């Protein structure tokens, strides 16, 4: 990922004597790298199998070429001028610096001279020599002379060189809120200018010098749309074209003359001024493809005037630009500057928890500098400032790789967490690209909430609903696939009826028959007792009960079987009343009675009759009739799947996730889609209550729109 412009803001803490002159050793360091795209740059994900050199699966990417051979997934364009990445290197304490091999010893002499002593090592970030397009922290040996001078008294600033209020010195921002509480001007700590000319650090003056918007950029902006500085051409052209109806930022054109005419006519007809104007603007605004060219063409001779104004703006100094051009052409931060103070108190390098006794040595010499790659700092031009080393047409040659993207690690010990449907394979050890909770939540406005905790809670609820809906959609797809495989709705309903009759209904029937037989036994005992008999009378008692039972049991069994069959038939949507267009006019009562009469008290016989094939039953079995009714009600498999309500879909998913042994004993209870959504975030996206979002380079990209 070339085409980058880097800005650096750094804070170093040195200690020894309370005077600028002396021998100093680095004891704390924080560096803010602000990466700005110097031309619109496409961002891709590509496969990474380095061992498959020479194939489209190799890690060497040619995604941005006219005919790429790599497998590429386009994510987005990074517009020219947008600060797309902020990488803070540090803060490092004295111990932390030693741990990464940093040892900087600085000697400041009289007469404006100084040296960085031999044996010094200083960190920076550079493109890795071992990994393609990866920027790493690297430690460099440093040994050089420098010059210095002290400037006027001033204060340190919370701002940075771009004009962002939350520079490294800002201590007012609440990390729990989305809003930026840094004001940019709250820092009143005393400082003095400290000019430096050295090859290690950016060349910085003792008095701050305003920084122009880097050449070639239309503006410098943040990803949220905040513009920190416009180039003269962008600001003045946008303003002039806006007067003519072109909105260059949104690529639209509004016919202002027609808007005025229609608004006037509407108001004269009794309409409200604001409503009339809004309607006229909406009716006369259209998209434009090359808006700037269209606007310049429409200007005619006025284009020359615009060109002269742009030239004057570009030649203006900071004060003049502020007076006549609204500050166009310049950034409005600290400017290129370097400031210091001595005896600055407690170290600011102790981390998020702030200073504590013994966390780091007190600061005897505090140095803060701000600079942007360019002529003022002398940096960013590669090894030879006169050569366009990367061939991009600009003077800038500094190249960085995007350090990471947001990803979400999935806890894969639970198979339900695999949202790829099993497509992850061995690579499922990698996380998914993107912050799942943040990305899905933003689609429903969660990113508008004031605190990160509220945003996360809102996003988690969105993920819950997303997983539940996807689960139910998956069940619907499974129903459609199964129906299609079975040969249509009629066959699907028929075989579902067979399964239900052979299992659930057969069991219910057997229980009903047994209960009916028990009732007959009880009733016969009561009858025989009414005749004055009891169980002490031997064969007389037994004979009475047997005769009674034999005469009543068949009817009881038939009634039990008929009741079960009729209930099952009605529950499945069978006819309660006779309709010649349904089942030939048969009702569930008719079928139940016929099966009961033929069963002879045996549920297996009744089930066998109910499950006969359409061919064997001449289309008259209960399950065959059910298939016909189902096909008439839902002609297509999609219609059939759509007939299930959420409870029905949840029940099917619960059945599919229930684990049983060979004997049907439940080893692990299933869950509904509703429960699946409820548990997904805490089970799959969190570990010990902490969200699994991280920054990383290797991940899996899940394309939800792919068939």
Give the DSSP letter string of 82-149.
EEEEEEEEEEE-HHHHHHTT-B-EEEE-GGGEEEEEEEEEEEEEEE-SSSTT-EEEEEEEEEEEEEEE
Given this model, what pLDDT does residue 707 score?
A: 31
Domain that holds residue 412: 405-486+645-707
Helix, coil or strand: residue 239: helix
Pick from 194-198, 211-215, 339-343, 373-377: least confident = 373-377
Q: Does the structure show a pLDDT above 70 at 536?
A: yes
- Using only the alpha carbons of the chain, give its radius of gyration: 40
Mean pLDDT of 468-488: 94
Asked which of 78, 100, 130 is the last residue of a domain, the reply is 78
Give residues with Cβ within 8 angstroms of 425, minimum separation 6. none
**61 & 208 share domain:** no
139 and 19 in a common domain: yes
283 within domain boundaries: yes
Final residue of a domain: which of 22, 57, 78?
78
Same domain, 86 and 166: yes
Give the list of residues 6+ apart from residue 664 with CB closer than 8 angstroms, or none. Answer: none
Please write the tens of the pLDDT for every residue from 274-325.
999 999 999 999 999 999 999 999 999 999 999 999 999 999 999 999 999 9
How far apart (Å, rounded) are the C-alpha atoms in residues 380 and 398? 5
Residue 384 lies in a domain: no
pLDDT of residue 702: 46
Tell me the pLDDT of the chain averaged across its residues.
85
Same domain, 337 and 203: yes
Q: How many Cα atoms within 13 Å fall on the side-chain side of residue 461?
A: 8
The verdict on 361 and 269 lying in the same domain is no
224 within domain boundaries: no
- Asked if 259 contacts 277 with a C-beta cutoff of 8 angstroms, the reply is yes
Average pLDDT over every residue of 17-43:
84
Q: What pLDDT does 106 receive? A: 92
Residues 33 and 151 in one domain: yes
> How many CB atoms lie under 10 A from the CB of residue 247?
16
Are both 473 and 549 inside the same structural domain?
Answer: no
**50 and 11, same structural domain?**
no
Closest CA to 230 of 146, 292, 322, 300: 322
- 176 and 214 housed in the same domain: yes
> What is the Cα–Cα distance from 509 to 609, expressed in whole angstroms?
14
pLDDT band at residue 656, thresholds of 50, 70 and 90? confident
Confidence of residue 462 (pLDDT cuts 50, 70, 90): very high
- Kindly state whether residue 264 falls inside one of the protein's structural domains: yes
User: How far from 373 is each of 13, 34, 216, 440, CA to CA, in Å?
Assistant: 23, 11, 13, 37
> pLDDT digits over 587-637, tens only?
889 888 888 898 888 999 989 999 999 999 888 888 988 898 889 889 999
With the CA atoms of 496, 500, 501 and 507 taken in that order, what torsion angle do they form, in degrees rounded to the nearest 10? 170
Task: Return the half-sphere exposure (C-beta side, CA atoms, 13 A cut-off) of residue 38.
Answer: 25
DSSP 700: B
Q: pLDDT tier at 14 (50, 70, 90 boundaries)?
A: very low
- On whether both 351 and 461 belong to a single domain, the answer is no
Residue 626 lies in a domain: no
Measured between alpha carbons, how far is 671 from 679 in angstroms, rounded to an integer? Answer: 10
HSE-CB of 653 using CA atoms within 13 angstroms: 26
Residue 427 covered by a domain: yes
Helix (H, G, I), strand (E, B) or coil at 54: coil
Q: Check the CA dihedral 558-564-567-572 and report its sign.
A: negative
Indicate the SS3 state at residue 254: strand
> Rounded to an integer, what distance in angstroms lies between the CA atom of residue 94 and that of residue 102?
9
Q: Is 135 inside any structural domain?
A: yes
By DSSP bridging, strand 82-92 and strand 219-222 are parallel
Say how many domains are in the chain.
Answer: 5
Q: Angle at which helices 588-599 and 603-610 pack, to 10 degrees?
A: 130
Note the helical H segments in 325-421. none
pLDDT of 320-345, one tens digit each? 999 999 999 999 999 999 999 998 88
Percentage of the residues of the chain whose pLDDT score is greater than 70: 89
Question: Does residue 169 sit in the same domain as residue 313?
Answer: no
Q: Say if 257 falls within a structural domain.
A: yes
My answer on whether 192 and 318 are in the same domain is no
Q: How far apart are CA 14 and CA 366, in angstroms?
A: 6
Mean pLDDT in residue range 509-515: 92
Q: Which of 168-172, 414-418, 509-513, 568-572 has the highest mean pLDDT?
A: 509-513
């Amino acid at each position: 990922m070339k085409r980058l412009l880097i800005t650096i803001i750094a804070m170093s803490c040195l200690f020894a004597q309370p005077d600028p002159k002396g021998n100093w050793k680095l004891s704390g360091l924080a560096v803010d790298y602000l990466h700005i795209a110097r031309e619109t740059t496409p961002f891709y994900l590509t496969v990474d199998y380095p061992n498959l050199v020479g194939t489209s699966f190799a890690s060497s990417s040619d995604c941005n070429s006219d005919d790429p051979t790599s497998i590429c997934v386009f994510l987005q364009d990074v517009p020219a001028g947008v600060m797309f990445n902020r990488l803070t290197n540090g803060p490092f304490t004295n111990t932390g610096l030693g741990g990464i091999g940093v040892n900087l010893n600085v000697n400041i002499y009289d007469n404006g001279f100084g040296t960085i002593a031999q044996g010094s090592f200083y960190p920076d970030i550079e493109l890795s020599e071992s990994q393609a397009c990866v920027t790493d922290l690297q430690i460099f040996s440093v040994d050089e002379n420098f010059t210095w001078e002290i400037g006027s008294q001033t204060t340190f600033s919370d701002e940075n060189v771009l004009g962002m209020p939350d520079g490294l010195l800002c201590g007012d921002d609440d990390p729990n809120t989305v809003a930026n509480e840094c004001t940019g001007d709250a820092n009143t700590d005393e400082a003095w200018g400290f000019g430096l000319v050295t090859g290690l650090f950016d060349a910085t003056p003792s008095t701050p010098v305003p920084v122009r918007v880097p050449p070639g950029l239309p503006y410098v902006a943040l990803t949220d749309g905040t513009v920190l500085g416009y180039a003269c051409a962008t600001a003045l052209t946008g303003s002039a074209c806006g007067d003519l109806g072109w909105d260059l930022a949104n690529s639209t054109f509004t016919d202002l003359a027609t808007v005025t005419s229609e608004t006037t006519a509407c108001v004269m007809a009794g309409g409200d001024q604001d409503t009339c104007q809004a309607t006229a603007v909406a009716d006369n605004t259209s998209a434009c493809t090359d808006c700037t060219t269209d606007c310049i063409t429409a200007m005619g001779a006025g284009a020359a005037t615009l060109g002269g104004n742009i030239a004057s703006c570009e030649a203006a100094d900071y004060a003049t630009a502020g007076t006549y051009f609204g500050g166009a052409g310049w950034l409005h931060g600290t400017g290129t500057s370097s400031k210091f103070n001595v005896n600055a108190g407690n170290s600011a390098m102790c981390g998020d928890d702030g200073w504590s006794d013994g966390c780091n040595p007190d600061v005897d010499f505090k140095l803060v500098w701000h600079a942007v790659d360019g002529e003022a700092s002398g940096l960013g031009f590669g090894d030879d400032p006169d050569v366009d080393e990367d061939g991009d047409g600009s003077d800038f040659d500094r190249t960085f790789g995007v350090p990471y993207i947001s990803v979400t690690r999935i806890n894969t010990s639970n198979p339900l967490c695999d949202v790829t449907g099993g497509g992850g394979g061995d690579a499922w050890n990698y996380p998914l690209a993107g912050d799942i909770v943040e990305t899905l939540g933003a689609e429903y406005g969660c990113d508008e909430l004031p605190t990160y905790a509220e945003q996360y809670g809102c996003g988690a609820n969105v993920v819950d609903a997303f997983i539940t809906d996807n689960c139910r959609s998956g069940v619907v797809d499974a129903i459609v696939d199964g129906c299609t495989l079975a040969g249509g709705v009629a066959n699907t309903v028929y075989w579902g009826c067979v399964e239900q009759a052979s299992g659930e209904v057969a069991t219910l029937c057997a229980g009903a028959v047994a209960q009916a037989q028990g009732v007959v036994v009880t009733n016969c005992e009561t009858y025989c007792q009414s005749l004055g008999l009891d169980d002490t009378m031997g064969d007389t008692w037994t004979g009475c009960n047997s005769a009674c039972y034999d005469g009543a049991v068949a009817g009881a069994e038939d009634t039990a079987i008929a009741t079960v069959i009729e209930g099952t038939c009605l529950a499945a949507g069978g006819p309660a009343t006779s309709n010649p267009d349904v089942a030939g006019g048969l009702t569930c009562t008719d079928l139940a009675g016929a099966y009961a009469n033929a069963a002879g008290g045996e549920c297996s016989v009744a089930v066998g009759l109910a499950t006969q094939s359409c061919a064997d039953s001449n289309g008259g079995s209960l399950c065959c009739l059910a298939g016909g009714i189902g096909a008439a009600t839902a002609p297509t498999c999609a219609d059939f799947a759509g007939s299930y309500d959420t409870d029905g879909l949840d029940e099917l998913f619960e059945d599919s996730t229930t684990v049983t042994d060979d004997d049907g004993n439940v080893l692990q209870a299933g869950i509904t889609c509703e429960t699946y959504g409820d548990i997904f975030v805490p089970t799959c996206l969190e570990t010990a209550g902490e969200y699994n979002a991280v920054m990383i380079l290797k991940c899996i990209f899940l394309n939800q729109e792919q068939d």
